[in-house]
Amino acid sequence: MLTWNDVIRLADTGNVAPPQRVEKSDDEWRALLEPTAYQVTRHAGTERPFSSEMCSRFEPGVYGCVCCGTPLFDGSVKFESGTGWPSFTEPLTDGVIAYHVDRSHGMVRVETECNVCDAHLGHVFPDGPPPTGLRFCMNAAALRKLDDTH
């Protein structure tokens, strides 16, 4: 099970190799994505809190990266954080999330990216529920619910 110490170690010393890589030019990403998804994922933007109905939906399934489709989170670990962004306690598998220290906006946080295509997803915090104690606070615009074939 992933812990906060693991997240910090990965953010400080480097992430594991991704299961694969997806790389596109900025023009290709812009053509592929909706404007909000493009701003959030390719330019580390943040959507307004409570701006997506994904925050209040808790159905079974897998949530993947909106850019490359990599499966990232299982719906069974999604929880109501009260923050206005979809929150999960852990990634679906090791190696799909990359962690980076983020010192923007006058604070120190840990940014999360899709390890396959470098899409900005959100941030992870050590204030989540058991058993991990982690809160993966994701931008809904960076995720999409995958069908049952993934």
Which positions are annotated as active-site residues? 137
Q: The tokens of 118 are what?
A: 């470098």
Return d(Cα 83, Cα 63) in angstroms, integer: 19
C-alpha 132: how far from its chain's center? 16
C-alpha 50: how far from its chain's center? 16
* DSSP 8-state secondary structure symbol assigned to residue 66: T
100 within 8 A of 113, measured Cβ to Cβ = yes
Return d(Cα 60, Cα 51) in angstroms, integer: 21
Return d(Cα 64, Cα 69) in angstroms, integer: 5
